Amino acid sequence: MRGPTFPPTIDHAEVPRMNPEEITAAENLARQLRVDSIRSSTSAGSGHPTSSLSAADLIAVLATRHLRYDWAHPEVPTNDHLVFSKGHASPLIYSLYRAVGVVDEHELVDTYRRFGARLQGHPTPVLPWVDLATGSLGLGIAAAVGIAIAGSRLDELPYRVWVLCGDSELTEGSVWEALDKASYYSLANFTAIVDVNRLGQRGPTELGWDLDAYAARVEAFGCAAITVDGHDVAAIDDAFATAAAAGRPSVVLARTLKGKGVAEIEDKEGWHGTALKPDLAERAIRELGGTSSIRVGSLTPPPGRPAITPDPLAVIELPRYPLGEKVATRKAYGDALAALADRPEVVVLDAEVGNSTGSESFLAVAPERYFETFIAEQLMVAAAGGLAARGYVPFAATFGAFFSRAFDFVRMSGISGLRIRLAGSHAGVEIGADGPSQMALEDLASMRAVHGSTVLYPSDATSAVALVVAMADAPGVAYIRTTRGAYPVLYGAAESFSIGGSKVTRSSDADAVTLVGAGVTLYECLSAADLLAAEGVAARVVDCYSVKPIDAEGLASACRATGGRIVVAEDHYPAGGLGEAVLAAIVGAGVRPSFAHLAVRGLSSSGTPAELLDAAGISAVHIADAARGLLRA
């Protein structure tokens, strides 16, 4: 259920106002932020100065009056969080860093956007004051929901999450997913600040300066909407104070001018993403009052207990399954999550399919660390990133096909180096009668492509449990593909599984061909080996459960031992999946194989799993036939 409702308006008269000296100080800082945004982007020859100039007053007031942050110690757990969802306004945040003394003049002006520099075109966590990489619009605000959940529902720490958004960004669906879930979870520590400057990249935005329309939408999603003149620092201060006291998530809608303060470009089209030429920059800086070196001190964070301390060495009692018992790996995923509940840093998110993905098993034992995002896959992945930025180990699950909606945010998690764990169930044609819309046949390829990712595809319950536990401590983005149907347990509880490994499930000195499968196709490979054995042909069978990193040496060794003959079968499209991973690995290890690759090459339909596997050409009879072809060759 949603939390209590609140009146849409709040009495601003109760909010204390800035005194004249504070107003002047904020205005002077805003001018400096504008000047420095111009200087850095002009020096680089690229950037987004006009998007920075419009929001300078907002950031000046925030930094001097509301952002409780110890700039010298970004690790302090009670520090507020400032997320630039409009990451293209990086000149502004970097100019703030100069004002607070953590970036010097040289770094700001001479290294911005240069090769090897910390001050990249869009902010990344190479800077200790940045929680996660932004620049994909709609990501920052959704990730901020995860940060706010950590503070209000898990850590119970008194920090506030401030998010700067652009008005063009508000056409992204993930923005409204974020506001909806911020309201659902009553995140009173969450404030989005929208820089409504009317102009997008190629022209006017959809709603222009219609703050009433924006406010109606915000209120409809259960958040407090506060409208303000984005260049009146006293009014901005009132708005921020009102937001902090709203008792629910809030959105400050600030009417601004793009390029504010520079008459030649102010509120004019055609200046988005364009650095000022040196002569124009010189005139603009003169118009803004010249360069300055205002320094802003830290606003002391409130006291609070330490943040969560991960315990990767906690002893986990893993579930055990009798050999031969039929258990779906999606169920084993849930069983493993329930076992991991003993680690307080593990949290689980699910997109309203927890009874199918297995996630509900964690809900039963640790409901306070289970977060239902409903059918909002983008929000789920981004919020997992926000939780990871706070030191949690988030597991997020949905059907494998539907991670494609959120792939951009998965990609951004890889750029940030965030440790998020994703589980995609109902993969491949094996799911049967639901039909092609539900069949993840591209997921291995997309997840393999993510920077620094781990991709796992267990076949049975024992390996699935072991790999889920291993995922908890893996670096970066880790993805596990689980199977809908129940299949026999192949491995005993004592069997070990490591990321980057593989298992030889059948072998002999007489093996003439290697059959490689993962997940459901491992069983088809074993059946194919039986068919070949009946003809007097011995086949080695390899369980390639770790798709990335892959066991290159183990696969190469099996290939060498079987005369270079190797068949790979996968319930996935041929591009970017298991077959290409195996081929690259063995060729990279110096083996030139005789290679057959069986994959789903056509558009599938509804049917039984057996019918669909056979129709796709990846069933045992097709694997055996491919092996015979290699032997004949």
Residues serving a catalytic function are: 377
Q: What is each CA distance from 616 to 294, 443, 485, 581, in whole angstroms?
A: 67, 17, 17, 20
Place of tokens 């499930």: 505
Long-range contacts of 602-611 (CB under 8 A, 24+ apart): 603/436, 604/429, 604/435, 604/436, 604/439, 604/441, 605/435, 605/436, 606/432, 606/433, 606/434, 606/435, 607/432, 607/433, 608/432, 608/433, 609/429, 609/430, 609/431, 609/432, 609/485, 609/520
The pair of three-digit structure tokens given for residue 221, joined into one six-digit string: 């999603």
3-state secondary structure string across 440-495 = ECCHHHHHHHCCCCEEECCCCHHHHHHHHHHHHCCCCCEEEECCCCEEECCCCCCC
Dihedral pair phi/psi, residue 327, rounded to 5°: -140, 130
Q: How far apart are CA 409 and CA 143, in angstroms?
A: 9
Q: How far apart are CA 340 and CA 345, in angstroms?
A: 9
H or E element, residue 593: none
Q: How far apart are CA 360 and CA 370, in angstroms?
A: 9
Cα dihedral 430, 458, 477, 86 in deg (nearest 10): 10
Place of tokens 């720490």: 157
Q: How far apart are CA 426 and CA 357, in angstroms?
A: 8
Buried b (16+ CB within 10 A) or exposed e, 48-78: bbbbbbbbbbbbbbbbbbbbbbebeeeebbb
In contact, 305 and 151? CB cutoff 8 Å: no
The pair of three-digit structure tokens given for residue 356, joined into one six-digit string: 């199918």
Residue 122: name the closest of 14, 21, 315, 273 by CA. 273
Q: How far apart are CA 151 and CA 168, in angstroms?
A: 28
Q: How far apart are CA 633 and CA 631, in angstroms?
A: 5
In contact, 141 and 153? CB cutoff 8 Å: no
The pair of three-digit structure tokens given for residue 202, joined into one six-digit string: 């190629």
In contact, 556 and 586? CB cutoff 8 Å: yes
Task: Collapse the DSSP code of 22 into the 3-class scheme (helix H, G, I; strand E, B; otherwise coil) and give the result.
Answer: helix
How deeply is 361 buried, as exposed, middle or buried, from its count of CB atoms within 10 A (0-12, 13-18, 19+)?
buried
For the chain, what is the largest distance between any 2 Cα atoms, rounded to a whole number of angstroms? 93
Residue 421: name the closest of 454, 460, 450 by CA. 454
In contact, 341 and 110? CB cutoff 8 Å: no
Could you give the residue ranges of the DSSP H alpha helices within 350-460? 354-357, 360-365, 377-389, 407-416, 443-449
